[in-house]
Chains A and B, each alone.
Chain A
Amino acid sequence: MKKYINITLALSILALTWVSCFKEDTPVDEDGLLITTRTECAVTNFELLGSDFVTVRTVAPVIDTVAQKVSVTVQFGTDLKNLYPQFSLSQDAKLDPKITGKMDFSDLGNPKVFTVVSGNRVVKKPYTVVITVQPK
């Protein structure tokens, strides 16, 4: 009887070990981010911070998801060469190019374009960030 108990125990441990070693093949992209099935691809909010990490916006940004355009008015005297943009995106989406620090938005004639990539990494939508400086 004891012999059967021992065999059952050994088999159970073996089964548990095998199960724990089994790794599900979850897809991740080149950034190590999970690739999901979501197709939503939009900017949901936008913020622009100055070198002092305080917002430079005068009003809430206008985000047009059809025209794929973010319009933001900044305070008079904003140092446009040293701004930190912040995007809120649809769930699982990511931004290209990545924001790694402060950016130069001083060339108002050539607005910066950021591409939103959906969670399934298939849908890509370029958003143009148009900055207007508050008049003096």
Chain B
Amino acid sequence: MKLKYIKTISPVFVAAVLLFLGCKKEEYALPTAKDVLQNTAIKRTLGPNIVTQTIDFAYAAAILPEKGKLTSIQVEATIAGATGTYLENKSYNTNGSGVDVGVPIGDASVNDGAKTTVTFSKDTSAATLRYYYVIPEEARGKTVSFTFTSKSSNGETATMTMGPYTIAKMDMVRNLAVKTDSAYISIADMKVYDPKTAATLGAKIDLIYLYRNITTSTFAHALVSPAADTAYLPSVKMPAGLTNSSKLIKVFNLQDFNLARLQFGIYIDDIDLQQVDFTNAPNYAINLRAEAGTWVQTADGKYRAYIFINSVNANGSAVISIKRLAL
């Protein structure tokens, strides 16, 4: 009888104890801040690091107000940034409407070789500064690291290193306007020429942009090699000396973020251009639409590119953007 009593009561008692413990709320305690100068950083840009584009960082430093104030923040890159590299002299916070509000904390940054410095002129205990590194030509294909250093009035120094980051070998050009019959595209130059200039460039012209409103077939917007079958070059008066047969592969739903600047988080990097298989690829791509694209390999095999169609217009024009890799 006694055993039965224990067997029945014990689980109920244990459950009650567990229930009681489960309901007990632990008191929250504010974390104690470290009493030394602290720092941290994040890289804000994604995708390949392309020459002439920026790599953005946000660097934060803080010290207890009773210990001292921030006096300077400095960034040193292993390869000096190109013109336009700077460190914000504003510390940002996001207001209730989601808008970033900058509070000036000192004078504009000063570049000295690979070093960029902001000296604080306002009493500041904590600040998050943004750093914009414009990738220079000499960094192409190399790696770059960044050393962020903050100093405080009590003589303390905090340092953080970011990287190394590989700089892509590719080039990029955006928003090239092309118009029917006056759109001779050179991948080598990453430019568009009119027929007169194209005739003087000959072997440099890799593609011709065309728009044809043919009722019996779907031609519309097209990129065609000068050496393609004339069926794909209707009514084109080809300037003399244009003989390249570039290979093209049509692509859809590849809205590279750098080229399209749309909501898609897709990035084409060097390796993507290197790995495209052009075996049996044709030398024309017709019926192209907005947000479509084509992989391209030049006739001499020197360049590979991705041409993205930003927009098309039924009057026979389009806007294209190009990423190109020299092989």
Please report the C-alpha to C-alpha distance between residue A81 and residue B281 in the assembled complex, in whole angstroms.
8
Of residues 53 through 109 on chain A, the ones whose CB sits less than 8 Å from some CB of chain B are: 53-54, 58, 75-77, 79, 81-82, 104
Please report the C-alpha to C-alpha distance between residue A44 and residue B251 in the assembled complex, in whole angstroms.
28
A126 on the interface (CB 8 Å rule)? no
A51 on the interface (CB 8 Å rule)? yes
Contacts of A2 in B (CB 8 A): none
Please report the C-alpha to C-alpha distance between residue A61 and residue B252 in the assembled complex, in whole angstroms.
23
B76 to chain A, nearest CB (A): 46
Given A52-B292, A134-B217, A136-B231, A75:B282 Cβ within 8 A: no
A118 to chain B, nearest CB (A): 34
Q: Which of A52, A76, A77, A134 lies in contact with B252, CB distance below 8 A?
A: A52
Contacts of A51 in B (CB 8 A): 249-251
Q: Which of A53, A54, A77, A135 lies in contact with B216, CB distance below 8 A?
A: A135
Please report the C-alpha to C-alpha distance between residue A136 and residue B218 in the assembled complex, in whole angstroms.
8
Contacts of B292 in A (CB 8 A): 52
Give the tally of cross-chain contacts (CB within 8 A). Answer: 50
B257 on the interface (CB 8 Å rule)? no
Q: Flag if B287 contacts A77 (CB, 8 Å).
A: yes
Q: Flag if B252 contacts A79 (CB, 8 Å).
A: no
Q: Flag if B281 contacts A82 (CB, 8 Å).
A: yes
Please report the C-alpha to C-alpha distance between residue A54 and residue B254 in the assembled complex, in whole angstroms.
13
Contacts of A104 in B (CB 8 A): 280
Please report the C-alpha to C-alpha distance between residue A50 and residue B249 in the assembled complex, in whole angstroms.
10
Q: Which of A50, A53, A135 lies in contact with B217, CB distance below 8 A?
A: A135
Q: Flag if B280 contacts A81 (CB, 8 Å).
A: yes
Contacts of B249 in A (CB 8 A): 51, 82
Q: Flag if B287 contacts A75 (CB, 8 Å).
A: yes
A55 to chain B, nearest CB (A): 11
B148 on the interface (CB 8 Å rule)? no
Given A81-B282, A82-B281, A76:B217 Cβ within 8 A: yes
Contacts of B284 in A (CB 8 A): 77
Q: Flag if A75 contacts B217 (CB, 8 Å).
A: yes
B286 on the interface (CB 8 Å rule)? yes
Q: Flag if A53 contacts B252 (CB, 8 Å).
A: yes
Q: Flag if B250 contacts A50 (CB, 8 Å).
A: yes
Of residues 151 through 199 on chain B, the ones whose CB sits less than 8 Å from some CB of chain A are: none
Of residues 217 through 236 on chain B, the ones whose CB sits less than 8 Å from some CB of chain A are: 217-219, 222, 231-232, 234
Contacts of A81 in B (CB 8 A): 280, 282
Q: Flag if B282 contacts A136 (CB, 8 Å).
A: no
Please report the C-alpha to C-alpha distance between residue A136 and residue B217 in the assembled complex, in whole angstroms.
6
B15 on the interface (CB 8 Å rule)? no
Contacts of A77 in B (CB 8 A): 217-219, 222, 232, 284, 286-287
Of residues 245 through 265 on chain B, the ones whose CB sits less than 8 Å from some CB of chain A are: 249-253
Give the one of B216, B217, B219, B284 with max A CB within 10 A: B217
Contacts of A52 in B (CB 8 A): 250-253, 292
Please report the C-alpha to C-alpha distance between residue A134 and residue B286 in the assembled complex, in whole angstroms.
13
- Contact pattern, A 9-39, Cβ under 8 Å of B = 1, otherwise 0: 0000000000000000000000000000000
Please report the C-alpha to C-alpha distance between residue A76 and residue B217 in the assembled complex, in whole angstroms.
6
Q: Flag if A136 contacts B250 (CB, 8 Å).
A: no
Contacts of A82 in B (CB 8 A): 249, 280-282
* Interface set of B (CB-CB < 8 Å, partner A): 214, 216-219, 222, 231-232, 234, 249-253, 280-282, 284, 286-287, 292
Given A50-B250, A77-B286, 12 new contacts (CB under 8 A): A52-B250, A53-B253, A58-B218, A76-B214, A76-B218, A77-B284, A79-B281, A79-B282, A82-B249, A82-B282, A136-B216, A136-B231
